[in-house]
Amino acid sequence: MDKWSGLADLLSSLEYWSEVQTTLANEGHFQGAAPLYGRPYLEDGRLVIPRGPGMAEDSDGYTDYSIVEEPTYFSVRIAGRSRETLISESANAWFGTFDD
């Protein structure tokens, strides 16, 4: 089984919900709402989920997410800032395949 199986579904879901959020904001259903995350991209075995315009680095807090390919599983890694405190990157969850 390909451990990357299901990645296309994840990317499709992220894209869909970003479009929903943008549409609702453009229609005035809530103010100041911009997508929290940008389009994910692969970089050296890591799926980076970049911050979007709704989560600026100079805001009160932000969280960066990435998914890292380990030898036998994937780890979900987080880093960021919360009220002036920097949060170093650490593994927060693990899974075997993107179908999980």
Domain of 63?
A: 7-95
- What is the spatial distance between Cα 76 and Cα 67, in angstroms, rounded to a whole number? 5
CA pseudo-torsion sign 87, 91, 93, 95: positive
Q: 95, 2 in Cβ contact below 8 A? A: no
In a domain, 16, yes or no: yes
State if pTM tops 0.75: no
In a domain, 49, yes or no: yes
- What is the spatial distance between Cα 69 and Cα 44, in angstroms, rounded to a whole number? 9
In a domain, 30, yes or no: yes
pLDDT tens-digit readout, 5-59: 888 888 888 888 888 877 887 887 766 666 777 788 888 878 888 877 666 666 6
Q: 87, 80 in Cβ contact below 8 A? A: yes
In a domain, 100, yes or no: no
Query: What is the tally of structural domains in the chain?
Result: 1
Q: Give the DSSP letter of residue 22.
A: H
